[in-house]
Amino acid sequence: MKKLPILSILILLNSITTKSQTIEDARKDIYYEKYQSAKTILQSVLAKGDASPDAWYWLMEVYLKEKNIDSANKMASKIPAQLLEQGAMKDHPLVFIGRAHILLDSGLTTAAKSQMEEVLKAGKYKNPDALLAAARANIDSKNGDMPWALELLAQAIKKDKKNAEIYAAMGDAYFKMTDGGRAIINYDQAIALNPTYAEPMYKTGVIYKTQKNKEIYLEKFTKAYEMDSVYTPALYELYYYYYFTDVVKANQFLTAYIRNSDPDPVHQYMVTDLQYVSKKYREAIAGADSILSEQGNEAQPRLYKLIAYSKAALGDSTAALQYMNTYFDKQDTAQIVAKDYELKANLLEKLSPDKAEAIVWYRKALAADSNKNEKLNYMISLADLQQQLGNRERESVWRERVYENKKSPTNLDIYKWGMALYAAENFEKADSVFAIYELKYPDQVHGYLWRARSNASIDTTMEKGLAVPHYKGLVEVAIKDSVKNRPLLLRAYQYLGAYEAIITKDYAASLEYYSRILALNPEDAEADKNAKILEKWIKDGKGNN
């Protein structure tokens, strides 16, 4: 008996016999990816003892769709001998093609193709259902022959030109061959033949999703949903899309997805995850606790992480750290992401008196993350922690990495880097960093000031005069706002006055600087004393003229 396309069956379901209706119900469930329901129906049908031979085929196919090749093989071994006789190939081709599909998935490609060809030859390549089944086996299998599948589908179209499933299968074959354009052409043809056929519309969306074309793939998934509001693959994709953009819509699609799917423990995880991203932290914690209570050691370790993140969001850092510790104990390292390390680092930074612990976890986050902006944030955190620990040398290393990795480093980035070096007494490198600051921000005082102080720390006796040009540069910039920069000017004048008095012996120049100090601060007794000494020395003819 010639099989009707799935979508035609869905429309005509109420008009067919009870026995066919049961098998077609299973096919309907397969279409909606309700594999457990389909298996239950088919096993019930086979248990009656008078089942259509095709029930064996569809049950084998369900197991193969679940990637359960062992169960498919067990079913194949139970097929009654009379259905496998040579003469049965013409009347029951799907049984043989199902067994060949198992061979194909097992890697026995030559034997699989030989068996399919034998079956198709027995029907003189005239049975469109057999041609479609053989083509579909090749499309679905990782070991399939796509060009041959397309040949079979072309022959099937000649026998059944208005079968939308055949065009959809051609679309799948081209998609697997990474020919998205031809895939879409065939999906469109399938939809033209059956406007309620959601699967090819959904798969068109999948193609655009691989191209990261959000606007179009959202449109296609939405159209698939509008064509068939219970088509679960489209419901899932819409839930997943809105999970990141609109939690209200995500909840609507998740509710519909769960309602129209087979019961699955994964649904509890999905609901709990959505509660978390919806910032319903208490509900998320309750949901995760419920799963952990029901599943025990079989529960996914990520539930401990979800509780930890929720506890942290609610301000309970102590409980959050406890759950994160449990998560790290139970979770496979390969499944841990940078944000997990970051959360533990954040919690340790808040709770542990030893900041070195947080540093260890920030470094793990840095190593695990590939996002440049996130890596930069971890470097900044590491630098800040090293500063808190007083390890200015290590801080300077991280400040340098921040400067090197930041697309547009700010004056503050340079300043913090230079100050860490100065505090670590790496005065020469501090001078080079503040030289960068001076070059980029010539109207600001910081580059001149800290170059002056760095060089003064190198040339402690003033003999080389290394700090002098930088203090003079500081004066040129600071004098523009003598009120605001009064402390800096006093520092510069003091250093320059001492330099001229002690090193160059130019007492007149020195007196000029001390006079400037007194102009800014007439109460400076030390400056007044030095000025009077210099005046006497000049009067006595001492020093260089």
pLDDT number for residue 15 = 35
Tokens (6 digits) for 25 = 């119900």
In sequence order, which residues have a C-beta less than 8 Å from that of residue 416 and are 6 or more positions away? 383, 399
Domain assignment present for 70:
yes
Q: What would the mean pLDDT of 30-34 be, rounded to a whole number?
A: 96
Residue 262 domain-assigned (yes or no): no
The crossing angle, in degrees rounded to 10, of helices 281-295 and 266-277 is 160
pLDDT of residue 84: 87
CA distance 316 to 324: 12
pLDDT score of 163 more than 60:
yes
For residue 72, the enclosing domain spans: 1-160
Number of domain units in the chain: 1
> Residue 501 has what pLDDT?
95
Instruction: Give 337-371 pLDDT, tens digit per residue.
Output: 999 999 999 999 999 988 999 999 999 999 999 99
At 61, list the tokens: 């196919």
CA gap 385, 288 in Å, rounded: 33
* Band of residue 50 on the pLDDT scale cut at 50, 70, 90: low
Q: Is residue 96 part of a domain?
A: yes
pLDDT digits (tens, 9 = 90+) for 373-425: 999 999 999 999 999 999 999 999 999 999 999 999 999 999 999 999 999 99
Digit-coded pLDDT (tens) for 84-101: 887 888 889 999 999 999
pLDDT band, residue 8 (cuts 50/70/90): very low
Stretch 311-324: mean pLDDT: 97
The rounded distance, in Å, linking the Cα atoms of 434 and 440 is 10
* Domain assignment of residue 189, yes or no: no
Cβ atoms within 10 A of the Cβ of 288, count? Answer: 27
pLDDT at site 364? 97
Better pLDDT: 319 or 91: 319
Quick check: is 485 in a domain? no
Rounded to the nearest integer, the mean pLDDT of the chain is 93
Which of 450, 442, 387 has the alpha carbon at shortest distance from 420? 387
Within 8 A by CB and 6+ apart from 43, the residues are 59
| pLDDT at 16 > cutoff 60 | no
- Is residue 58 situated within a structural domain? yes
Check whether 541 has a pLDDT greater than 50: yes
Measured CA to CA, the distance from residue 100 to residue 70 in angstroms comes to: 14
Q: Report whether pLDDT(3) > 90.
A: no
List Cα–Cα distances, 116 to 125, 148, 151, 469, in angstroms. 11, 11, 13, 90
Contact indicator for 312, 337 with CB cutoff of 8 Å = no
Q: Is the pLDDT of residue 538 over 60?
A: yes
Residue 90's nearest CA partner among 117, 115, 119 is 119
**What pLDDT, on a 0 to 100 scale, did the predictor assign at position 87?**
80
Instruction: Report the distance separating Cα 57 and Cα 61, nearest Å.
Output: 6
Nearest Cα neighbor of 96 from 132, 57, 135 is 57
pLDDT band at 10 (very low <50, low <70, confident <90, very high): very low
**pLDDT tens figures, 169-225:** 999 999 999 999 999 999 999 999 999 999 999 999 999 999 999 999 999 999 999
| Residue 179 within a domain | no
Q: What is the CATH number of the domain that holds 79?
A: 1.25.40
Residue 302 has pLDDT above 90, yes or no: yes
Is the residue at 308 inside a domain?
Answer: no
Contacts 24+ apart (CB under 8 A), 435-440: 437/411, 438/473, 440/411, 440/414
Residue pLDDT, tens place only, 248-258: 999 999 999 99
pLDDT band at 51 (very low <50, low <70, confident <90, very high): low
Two tokens, residue 516: 């400037």
pTM over 0.85: no
